[in-house]
A and B are shown apart, each in its own frame.
Chain A
Amino acid sequence: MAGLDPPPSSLSLSLSSPPQALEIHPFESPSSSSSSIFTFHPSHLIFSHLEFTQFSVIPCSFKAMGSSEERVVAVIMVGGPTKGTRFRPLSLNVPKPLFPLAGQPMVNHPISACRRIPNLAQVYLIGFYEEREFALYVSAISNELRVPVRYLREDKPRGSAGGFYSFRNYIMEDSPSHIFLLNCDVCCSFPLPEMLDAHKSYGGMGTILVIKVSAESAHQFGELVADPDTKELLHYAEKPETFVSDLINCGVYVFTPNIFAAIEEAIVERRGKAELRRITSFEALQSATKAIPADYVRLDQDILSPFAGKKEFYTYETLDFWEQIKTPGMSLKCSALYLHQFRYTSPQLLANANDAKGATIIGDVYIHPSAKVHPTAKVGPNVSISANARIGAGVRLISCIILDDVEVLENAVVIHSIVGWKSSIGKWSRVQGEGDCNAKLGITILGESVAVEDEVVVINSIVLPNKTLSVSVQEEIIL
């Protein structure tokens, strides 16, 4: 096979066996004989049985599934530190994507879902956090899940499509035929393989995961109107004031590579407009509204909305759960949703009611192997206990997240709360929230190293790190 140029790639590529199937560029006339010289176009490269060395330590093997497959790259948008202020006080200690839900960092859940996609080549995490905040995580998760994961840092805000577009060279390195784009703070069942199949059958540029919600709550999201038969996206409105549709955008998409051309068009058009009209002096005085730069492209308003009805975008409806994880209250709710899902997807992760530890387990509970739970404690439902936590005698835990190194002393009660790393909960104390995951003070959140003294009651309150509570509090934020 002469004339085989290696694909342009920063990955070191070693062929364990010669490629078994090659496709000729469709716009060239096929050669008359099978052994003739062909030209090789990176976007149509199809390999199988390849090993990519992403890091010097970790080999990753393809899920080889026969001959002509198409590779898929997944991109997960993880946001940044100054953006996630709604996730305080937990985000004061850990980047939101790494906060644990059901015992695993938030971003693990979409990454694990990506593993089910046939021929997944690469997962990119794109965000504004410093590289070092994700360095350890990325190498650990690549190793653990046998999926190459890489973190790419955005240098400035370019909008939900602009950021994605700015990394197109990395994304296209593997010459994927399809690209998933997911938001990290979405909690759902991620039916990605099914979405991909649906997308292929529609034949458009992209497919959007959608879900029906109540008419009253729909206005908080992007509302879509879809053709009931073809499932084509007919209309898109972001957070409309009046009712448009009860079908909303879940923040999970699959695209074909020509999405980048569409985004580029939008950027070019914007630049053109910006040059034609200088900012008027009136606009310059507007301090509250910042001028939107030319390369700031939002996926929803600037791409989906204009392309609606042009047979480019389609919808795939999920009937499973879906939530956005914007606040600590929601993280408690979503942790419960994932714990429940484990029952079906990974039951070995859940604590067994007949565990040797002996504690009474009710419902869905995750206990890290290094955590210690006293046999007289009663745990659950919806409890997640992280590494090295110690749950004392006679403790009752309901609907809560107990983070690393927490000590809960004898006979304490924790309900609808998140207890931060290294905190201690005193004997007979009661840490409780009402359980309204959407309210500002609907659950109790204790930051890192908070000490609740014996017999103290803490209800519907938020306590920032390094505080000691020696008197009971209700409905308070303690800085």
Chain B
Amino acid sequence: MSHQLKGLEGEVCRGVRRQARSGSPRAGDTSGRRSARKPTPKAEGPPGRRGAQPSQKEPPRGEPRPGSPRRKPTERTGRRGELRGQERSAAERTSEGRRKGDGRASFKEQRAPPKKEKEALRKEETWKRPRKPRSSSLASGNSGGESLSEEELARILEQVEEKKKLIATMRNKPWPMAKKLTELREAQAFVEKYEGALGKGKGQRLYAYRMLMAKKWIKFKRDFVNFKTQCIPWEMKIKDIESHFGSSVASYFIFLRWMYGVNLVLFGLIFGLVIIPEVLMGMPYGSIPRKTVPRAEEEKAMDFSVLWDFEGYIKYSALFYGYYNNQRTIGWLRYRLPMAYFMVGVSVFGYSLMIVIRSMASNTQGSTSEGENDNFTFSFKMFTSWDYLIGNSETADNKYASITTSFKESIVDEQESNKEENIHLTRFLRVLANFLIICCLCGSGYLIYFVVKRSQEFSKMQNVSWYERNEVEIVMSLLGMFCPPLFETIAALENYHPRIGLKWQLGRIFALFLGNLYTFLLALMDDVHLKLSNEETVKNITHWTLFNYYNSSGWNDSVPRPPLHPADVPRGSCWETAVGIEFMRLTVSDMLVTYITILLGDFLRACFVRFMNYCWCWDLEAGFPSYAEFDISGNVLGLIFNQGMIWMGSFYAPGLVGINVLRLLTSMYFQCWAVMSSNVPHERVFKASRSNNFYMGLLLLVLFLSLLPVAYTIMSLPPSFDCGPFSGKNRMYDVLQETIENDFPTFLGKIFAFLANPGLIIPAILLMFLAIYYLNSVSKSLSRANAQLRKKIQALREVEKSHKSVKGKATARDSEDAPKSNSKNATQLQLTKEETTPHSASQSQTLDKKAQGPVTSSSSSSTLLPAPRHLPGSRSPGSRPDSGQPQSQTHPWRSASGKSAQRPSH
């Protein structure tokens, strides 16, 4: 229905056009419309900046009209014959749209002229009536055999295609909306008219439907992406921090979040496969000695101070190794708990190893693919960093901060990269600094060794003082407190880029902490060995107690004696639980120390500086205490070593991972808060390296180091005889053998035995080494090829650049020769020309076009396709209709930026 209406209107407006053409040259309808709608003097249009463009491409709609009919015949002589009429009608539709706008505007104002025009219209309409059937019959004239030859049909088809293309690419054109609308309507009308005639009745509706679906699809994708971002926990918090403190601080929090994810998986593994089955299906508390608090500890077992030390009821709970029974299967599911315990312990390490290595690999991949963008660091920051979507003032503030920070980061990088420096002095200073630091490390190592030795002596003595008992811990925390700042002071000598400096600092503190960790482990091992040596005697005592209890005289033999209460059974010390408790305590105390340090060192200091600054004799904020900076290296290493503790301890204390998950969760919130509330950004905000592979590398090292002691205890220490899932076995891994023997068919057992043969294992290991060597060499050669390709691209770019500069000069000269109607127009044209391909032919074409500018394009707008290439006239309008072939719609910008620009100009 609307089509009909439009058609009618088309008739109407055609009439108007005819009248106007025959009469005086139409007053430029842009200005007319504009003045009708918005009667400001500025609205005159063309003089404005943007007005200049329409005037160039769709030339003065007003004055050159009279010229057009004259020009048309020369341009398209008989070739178009019949078609001209149709073209004209189509072109008239162009003006129809325009007119329609006019009409609306003017009707609103209730002016007289339109009415008169309308009357004239009627007349014209009648005058034109006969044409319509003719043209329609013309269109379908194929069957009628009137006058439409194959050739013409093909041409119409072509035009329809062209129009369709125009419709499809309409949104690519930098035209003002009014022009787009008229063009679109014209094209649509054309397509509608002739497509029907050519037998393809689909059109607008399908197109509209497709557009609708495309829009819906885009919206869906966008929503999905939003949803995904919302699903990332703490993304906003971290972005917030990143925008104020730079990516280096944010990298710590990202690392923390990653760690939280890993721990969550470990937690799920351990809880789902070990703790929950034990709680649900295992023997309840108090049924057997290992699940009962001994009589001697019973009265204090619920005291807070005892519980705080993980003694008492907590020690005899499913959180620790000792609670588990060595029953092969538990519950109605016949769940093989000892086997599950062992496999979970192994898979905790397996999963961690896999995830660390995988994320390292993906980080490297990401960093190599991004390497190309280094060319435009600053330009991208400047032109694409603002997110135009931001509609919230708070977000905008953050964005401003983050842009400033990122600029500063890049500036630091830049200054570092072209810093002129005295190489010899720097080298000397670096060697000196490293020497000093190695001295520090050796000194602290010796100190720890000395203290440990002394503590072993103390442990043999009776009544030692509190200090002597805790000497090792005190010395270690003192070292941990004072060495990092010392290192940092020394590192100032080295004058590294802060990012590299951070890595050095991390490595050094890592070495210090390692000493810390290993002394702790050695002490623990000593303890374990002591307990193991006592075990034999304890075993005998237990045995004898039970024996005496059952065989003691003075009891009625007819009644079977009730079993000894589990709390009264003497038991061994269960070194596994002791180790687990040790790790548990360490984790908790580490957490508390971290929190208290943050509270005192950062928050209270910030409060003090902030509020005492009003009444202090010097400027506290700028002067000595100032605010704290966020200590990236310390925090990262704290996290890494804490994770090492978890890995080591989780085998002996399955509950440890749960505690660690809580710890990471709280520290995420707490540290985020502390950073935002009481820290200041670093003096030189620097960008984190793109991949935090350094953190990952350290983590991998710690994982390996924490794997060693656990593997050692599993493989070579006998488990306690009366606690834990492996009690009664010679070694812990015997549970595997047992399962294979009892639960698998015999041939499988044989296969496993065969596989465990050293004759097979050693070749397998050799094979793996070979594979590693091969893959390594392949990756090296690939990366070399990659680097070469990159170099080639770089070289190409250079050539392109120099080429363009030559061309740019040439075009500049050309444009000076060209006649200028007004200066704006000229620059616009020059711009246009620069867009074209460097072929001299096309250049001359554009020149040509420019020269004939007003005339040619006016004719084209009055005839068929107004060929207003606003920007880059990749084809000149004069030549296009003649050739009559659908020219490839090369996008001008593509051609400018693409390969053609590199083509040598002839």
Question: Do the two chains belong together in a single complex?
Answer: no
